[in-house]
Amino acid sequence: MRYACTAMLIGLALGSVALAAAPKAAIDRKEGPCKLQKAGAFDDAKLLKMTLGHTVKVETRWRIDEFFGKQIINANVTLKNTGSTPMFAHFYAAFLDKDGNLLGCAGQGTFGDDGLDPGKETQLGSLLIPLPPDRFKDIAAYKAVLYESPKPIGK
């Protein structure tokens, strides 16, 4: 009986350690002034770069670009799960004028019901924000948020 109780206590302690190490839902936000430039995906000096995240790391590279003949705000956004369990994430970014008025925004996240596996990364390809051509000069600031969780975002 004594050994059974000891084994049970060890099991409870190990379970507590496992629970403490489990990733939790988290939010990370960034904002600041910006002036987006017309650039290619690898024109590093012209890109607005931002990183966010706790367990899921997000790297972005924003620029003004062209997509099917339309001028857009474009991003290269990479999500990487640095944790030890599958994670879900959703990223949003908004661009504002000097008075704080919204010019455009986009959001996208992980797909499916399984999350992003540990050590894996994925790119978000639909973070495109078309604006009227005369509005790009008005971009003065950005705000971004990342939601990450071991459960699907929204559940």
41 falls within a domain: yes
The CATH number that applies at residue 109 is 2.60.210
Query: Could you list the residue range(s) of the whole structural domain that residue 73 is in?
Result: 25-149
Is 1 part of a structural domain of the chain? no
Q: Are 104 and 95 spatial neighbours (Cβ–Cβ below 8 Å)?
A: yes
Domain presence at residue 59 = yes
Q: Average pLDDT in the 76-95 region?
A: 96
Q: Give domain status of residue 154, yes or no.
A: no
Predicted pLDDT at 112 = 86
Tens of pLDDT, residue by residue over 6-43, are 444 344 444 434 444 556 889 999 999 999 999 988 88
**Count of residues for the chain?**
155
pLDDT in tens, 113-145: 899 999 999 999 888 999 999 999 999 999 999
The pLDDT > 90 percentage for the chain reads 74
Domain contains 3:
no
Residue 114 lies in a domain: yes
Please give the tally of structural domains in the chain: 1
- In this prediction the pTM is 0.82
Q: Give the type of residue at 83.
A: G
Tell me, yes or no, whether 18 lies in a domain.
no
In a domain, 19, yes or no: no
Q: DSSP letters of the chain? A: -HHHHHHHHHHHHHHHHHHHHS---EEEEEEEE----B--TT-GGG-EEEEE-SSEEEEEEEEEEEETTEEEEEEEEEEEE-SSS-BEEEEEEEEE-TTS-EEEEEEEE--SSS-BPTT-EEEE----EE--GGGGGG--EEEEEEEEESS-TT-
